[in-house]
Amino acid sequence: MKGRITVQLKAGVLDVEGTAIARALGSLGFTASEVRVGRVFEVELGPEVANDPAGAALVLTDMARKLLANPVMERFEVEVLDGASGAA
Amino acid sequence: MRFAVISFPGSNCDDDCVRVVREVLGHDAYKVRHDVHDLDRPDVVLVPGGFSFGDYLRCGAIARFSPVMTDVAAFAGRGGPVVGICNGFQILTEAGLLPGALRRNVCLSFICEDRHVAVEGRSTPLTRGLSGEVLRIPIAHNEGNYCADEETLARLEGDGRVVFRYVAPDGRRSPEANPNGAANDIAGICNERGNVVGLMPHPERCAEPLLGNTDGRRLFDALLAAGADGGSR
């Protein structure tokens, strides 16, 4: 079972990197009123949650809470990916 | 007095801290590896600057899970003075020993230059007797932009727990004096009890005449004075 965790700065937190990227996009002629930068973690999970999407989601959430996201400034989303099809 | 300086893989100011304590102050300092559980009865714990674990994930995010950090937390819990400098400050926030977080500088670049900070707020082992002083201390960081939610900021301010603030050389606050976008111009804070202090500037880099600036030594002297009064733990 595979999982994906996406971590981003919280909505109220100024994303200085995103702001710089939005400006760069603008200089290329694109219209991007806001860009938020995030990080994606793809995790191959262990056998204990094989065929257990609910259990996998709990493990991913625990990983995000304990290490991958800093709750002071970041929020996260988890997705459980079915290893066979690659779809959530 | 005995100073334990914690060494993580990627710490690079640990030797500077040891040097200041030994050569400048004439006291005992020794490094403690990240993967041991023995602080060896220090009077002060310094969590030095650098790039622990390559700053992977977030600055300090991996270092906080090092075995030695449980001992640092226990030492802090007993009221022992713990000072986190730069990456050390980041590690202490990730470890939950100090509130808030340090984000990327607003300018998106690494800043390495002298900055002025005002010492204020309540008395801590690091700042005792220095309240109201403006010190010139170098900063060197990419993630020094202190942030916390409004409630936490209000509590820090209300309780006098902002102990270093970026200011102009004359002590006045201004947007230009804030190098990194830190909320309320915060350069350093302490915990509720006042014994854990984190700051972005590097006092160990300006503690001897050879380096052209001894403002940092005043903070180390304050630690010695606090230790002389507080006794060992």
Which of B147, B150, B155, B186 is most worth mutating to test chain A (most A CB atoms within 10 A of its CB)? B147
Which domains, ranges and CATH numbers included, belong to chain A? 2-81 (3.30.1280.10)
pLDDT tens sequence across B109-162: 999 999 999 999 999 999 999 999 999 999 999 999 999 999 999 999 999 999
Is 3.40.50.880 the CATH classification of the domain at B2-230?
Answer: yes
Concatenated DSSP letters of A5-51: EEEEE-TTS--HHHHHHHHHHHHTT---S----EEEEEEE--GGGTT
Does the annotation mark B86 as catalytic?
yes
**pLDDT for A82:** 75
Size of chain A, expressed as the number of residues it contains: 88
**pLDDT for B228:** 81
Angle at B121 between CA B52 and CA B14, to 5 degrees: 20
**Gap between the Cα atoms of A81 and B8, Å rounded:** 35
Q: How far is CA B193 from the centre of its chain?
A: 16
Does residue B148 sit at the A interface (CB-CB below 8 Å)? yes
Give the A-side interface with B, CB within 8 Å. Answer: 9, 13-14, 16-17, 20, 67-68, 70, 72-73
Inter-chain CB proximity B147 and A70 less than 8 Å: no
A-chain residue closest to B103, CA distance: A73
Domain range summary for chain B, segments of one domain joined by +: 2-230
ipTM summary value: 0.82
Q: Give the strand order in the sheet containing A74-81.
A: A38-44, A2-9, A74-81
Q: Is B86 helix (H, G, I), strand (E, B) or coil?
A: coil
DSSP B57: S
